[in-house]
Amino acid sequence: MQETLILTNPPQCNEGYLSQWNSLLSSNQGLARIIEVVGNPDGPAVIFSHDDPDGITSGLIFKRMLEKKGWTVSWRMPPGFLLSNEQFEATMKDCPDAKNVFILDKGTLPPYSEFGKKAKVFIVDHHPTPKPPSDCVYFNPSIERYTQCSTSILAHGISTLSKTRDEFDDFLCLLGLKGDWAIEPVKGILADFAVPFFTEHGKSFKNLFSLVHERPTMFDAEQRDHYNDRDESLKEIDHPVCIGIALEKLAPKIESLKTISTLESFIRLIPESEARNLIKIFQFFLDDWRNASKTLDSSTQVLKLQDTSVYLFVGGKVPLLPMIGSIKLFDLKKAGNDKFAQIIMVSAVSPEYSHVSVRGSGDRVHSGKFCKSLQDTLQGKFPKFKDLISGGGHPRAAECTIRTNGVTFVTVLSHVISQLMEMVEIDARYQDGKMTKHQKKRAVELGLEYFISERTHP
């Protein structure tokens, strides 16, 4: 197999992995408290994690760690990024003896303050947030400033400090890093935060850093309901849970995982009970991939913010939409000869569900801040539906979900367009050097990072 750039041109590492985490431990009270709690089992525990690749892998690393420490664990992956009050209450009703709750990769969000009044809540997360919750203990390297990484590597670091880490955790950590774009082997991208991990543990899986010339293999766990109506045997399947169970059963096969070179060789390692359903799901996925890719050909460049071209797609329900947008973005960027590009996808999933996904190839226009601003605007305009509107994410990947017919799709679309027009106006005033105080504030809120960078470092 052909090695990728990360192996042929490895990054320089000046710090050991354990040294990195000991330094974090000594400087972060939240991390220190979490390590203390992990080492002292206190009845049953509940883990909530995001239902995407990073959430599944970080949740599994954390589950394995707690169980090794003697905890009894209930692991849940409710749909969506924001953990809602309804999801929290339903789970706690099912687990009445659980006093400790761990929330992974679902944001460090103010609404979680209410959960902290009902249980001991510990958050491990890497998403930027303007205001962390009270009544919770949290560890998030992006609180002060954005740190590109993944929750999987944060869970892995905690397992390392807790002395439960093994090579299967290394494998899971790599999957999460790739799933959240902190590692991109083909293009040679490796987040600075992950360099010590890669140097000491990631290199053991050289096969995962080699080019595989096959059909696309990425799977977005958010499509949990999309295939259930196509096959009778899938109706009761919870996709993220199915994936989590399949991954956990691979732990004894770690040496074989180091040698897989094709998708088929990986599938052969999965127990038949899980592989049967996953293969069916994957076949549906391939059909949707082809159809979705054609649908997104209608994306159009709508504006340019300094050196970032912004593309817009508007449509109905498109299978695999958030993920396929990441792939389509690179096609658009190449065709447009853009230095950086961003795609905003606004879809009417159903009359009760509007979805805004944003993907970017660079950090100059912040995808997460765009979605956070959209969330704040819609929540302010529709306070009655505040708990049904959620938005945020990374500079390169973000979403805003509106799960109510009380906020129509045309309303969501109009606010997206309004934000884009505001960004155009701010950019024009920025180029002229005539920004008002309010526009400077909005530039920060909307994610015009080039303004922030040049203001700080003229």
Flag whether 216 is in a domain.
no
Least confident range from 173-177, 324-328, 341-345: namely 324-328
Q: Backbone dihedral region of 341: left (phi > 0), alpha (psi from -120 to 50 degrees) or beta?
A: beta
Q: What is the rounded average pLDDT of the residues 94-98?
A: 95
Q: Do residues 190 and 91 share a domain?
A: yes
Give yes or no for a contact between 348 and 317, defined as CB atoms under 8 angstroms apart: yes
The chain-wide mean pLDDT, for the chain, equals 88
Query: What is the rounded distance in angstroms from the CA atom of residue 147 to the CA atom of residue 17?
Result: 16
Q: Do residues 329 and 451 share a domain?
A: yes
Q: Do residues 356 and 394 share a domain?
A: yes
Last residue in a domain, options 209, 244, 273: 209
Who has greater pLDDT, 400 or 227?
400
Q: What is the pTM for the complete model shown?
A: 0.74
Who has greater pLDDT, 222 or 422?
422
Q: What is the DSSP string of 200-239?
A: HTGGGGGGGGB---SS-----GGGTTTSTTT-GGGTT--H
Q: What angle do CA 103, 109, 114 make, to 5 degrees?
A: 80
Q: Do residues 291 and 401 share a domain?
A: no
Flag whether 321 is in a domain.
yes
Last residue in a domain, options 237, 268, 295: 295
**What are the CB-based long-range contacts (under 8 Å, 24+) for 294-297?**
296/324, 296/325, 296/328, 296/345, 297/328
Give yes or no for a contact between 151 and 58, defined as CB atoms under 8 angstroms apart: yes
Flag whether 215 is in a domain.
no
Confidence of residue 230 (pLDDT cuts 50, 70, 90): low
For residue 420, the enclosing domain spans: 299-456
* Whether pLDDT at 59 is above 60: yes
Q: Do residues 374 and 310 share a domain?
A: yes
- Over residues 289-337, the pLDDT tens digits come to 777 777 788 899 999 999 999 999 998 887 666 667 777 888 889 899 9
Flag whether 433 is in a domain.
yes
Q: What is the rounded average pLDDT of the residues 19-40?
A: 97
Q: Do residues 306 and 323 share a domain?
A: yes
Query: What is the rounded distance in angstroms from the CA atom of residue 297 to the CA atom of residue 294?
Result: 5
- Based on C-alpha coordinates, what's the Rg of the chain? 22
Q: Which residue has the tokens 């006093």?
A: 99
Flag whether 166 is in a domain.
yes
Confidence of residue 395 (pLDDT cuts 50, 70, 90): confident
pLDDT of residue 64: 98
Question: Domain of 53: which CATH number?
Answer: 3.90.1640
Flag whether 25 is in a domain.
yes
- Phi first, then psi: give them for residue 132, nearest 5 degrees: -70, 160
* Whether pLDDT at 93 is above 90: yes
Q: Do residues 134 and 226 share a domain?
A: no
Q: What is the rounded average pLDDT of the residues 444-458?
A: 73
Provide the pairing of β-strand 189-190 with 300-305: unpaired
Q: Do residues 230 and 291 share a domain?
A: yes
- Over residues 191-212, the pLDDT tens digits come to 999 999 999 998 889 888 876 6
Q: Do residues 244 and 342 share a domain?
A: no
Last residue in a domain, options 269, 295, 321: 295
Query: What is the rounded distance in angstroms from the CA atom of residue 374 to the CA atom of residue 381?
Result: 11
Flag whether 214 is in a domain.
no
Q: Do residues 192 and 115 share a domain?
A: yes
Question: Domain of 373: which CATH number?
Answer: 3.10.310.40
Q: Do residues 150 and 237 share a domain?
A: no
The total domain count for the chain is 3
Residue type, 34: I
Q: Do residues 164 and 258 share a domain?
A: no
pLDDT of residue 245: 93
